[in-house]
Amino acid sequence: MKWENKENKIPIKSWCENLEEEALKQASNLSNHPRTFQHIALMPDAHSGYGMPIGGVIACDEVVIPNAVGVDIGCGMGFIQTNIPTSELTKIDTPNGNLLHSIVHTIDRTVPTGFGHHKAPQKSFLLDEPPEEVMDIQIIKEEIERAKYQIGTLGGGNHFIELQKDEEDKLCLMLHSGSRNFGYKIAKVYHELAKELNSDVVPEWDLNYLPVDSKEGKDYIKAMNFALDFARENRKMMMEKIKSITFNLINKHMKFTGIEIIREVNIHHNFAALEEHFGKMVWIHRKGATQADKDRLGIIPGSMGTSSYIVKGLGNPESFESCSHGAGRIMGRKQFNKTHTKEECDKAIEGVIYSGWSKGRKGKLDLSEAPQAYKNIDTVLESEKDLVEVILKLKPIGVVKG
């Protein structure tokens, strides 16, 4: 832990050494909130979000705060480690360049990204046979058919698919995605409902809550958990597609036999869960933070062009058994695009296969996912050595961005 502030109703404990002013203000609001418990925990990648810092962890007594979960409910990471040597992929030519280029190119044109959806509804046990209890919730009834076109798609912003190599040159696959527009709609409806139902929270904070014993609170928890299941299945479906593309191309061009999956992880970093901490059952909200209880495997990605890590939780109670979910942004997207050039950003991802920077509004290049927009991932890991143990370091070799 880097510092502690005890000036408010409950303390703020931070693993982020230099917290931006807006994020500090949001943390202060949380520490004065009428329903937060014990202390506020800030991970080393913390930066400002809607209402609550991304990279923040709070405990609430008998309430849930929709904006402390976030708009992308269940956003998280998927990962597999294989026994395939990456050095061999660049030695084999295909019509789309070497085999590594061909894999990245095929994934890029196969998995819908950005605002892209499937052209036909996807088969999904979760969506085809949803629990009866969630079909009583209006927003889910309204959105579930559209969700069938969204599941198995990446999304935009900082969502990505990445081919990586571990320190023994073995191929790894990683992706970052969540509950798409389905989760966003749930989050928006229940945040607006929370604003209507309680008046003991400063309106400008955007931290309105729902009592868990109220109908609205119970419905939000059901809807949130269903969105978490959606996000997990979304990542699983994409990973199956990515594995299929990768393994089929390798078998076609390399005749590599005996492909093995050594390790697989699928985790959330935007959710609330009922857990016991400091002798009390409380609702832990992790917004841009992941569970790091004892020996749990986690994923802490870097940025485009920088290393990512597989970690093992140490179960530190001071962080509510949590850790960072990534490197964390240094600056907003608009500011970054104003202050950086394409040449600088190209240089930062030199050696990584990438289809190019996407175009934002008015046709201008969006450079805001370049490595310079994020904190140094190794500094972030150093700041949370009391939260996690690194077990695997991964270097990016190809990336598909949303």
Domain ranges in the chain are 3-330+375-401, 331-373
Q: What angle do CA 169, 172, 174 make, to 5 degrees?
A: 145
pTM of the model: 0.96
Q: Three-state SS for 243? A: helix
pLDDT at 361: 67
CA diameter of the chain: 65
CATH topology of domain 3-330+375-401: tRNA-splicing ligase RtcB (3.90.1860)
State the virtual CA torsion across 17, 21, 22, 23 in degrees, nearest 10.
Answer: 10
pLDDT at 257: 81
Residues across the chain: 402
Beta strands 160-165 and 388-401, pairing class:
antiparallel
Q: Amino acid identity, residue 164?
A: Q
pLDDT at 391: 97
Q: Amino acid identity, residue 357?
A: W
Closest to 232 measured CA to CA, from 152, 326, 290, 304: 152
pLDDT at 200: 86
Question: What are the backbone dihedrals phi and psi of residue 230, each rounded to the nearest 5 degrees, phi first?
Answer: -60, -50
Q: Are 348 and 376 in contact (CB under 8 A)?
A: no
What stretches in the chain show pLDDT beneath 70? 361
Q: Are 57 and 277 in contact (CB under 8 A)?
A: no
325 is catalytic: yes
108 class by beta-carbon count within 10 Å (0-12 exposed, 13-18 middle, 19+ buried)? middle
- Catalytic residue of the set 105, 117, 269, 325: 325
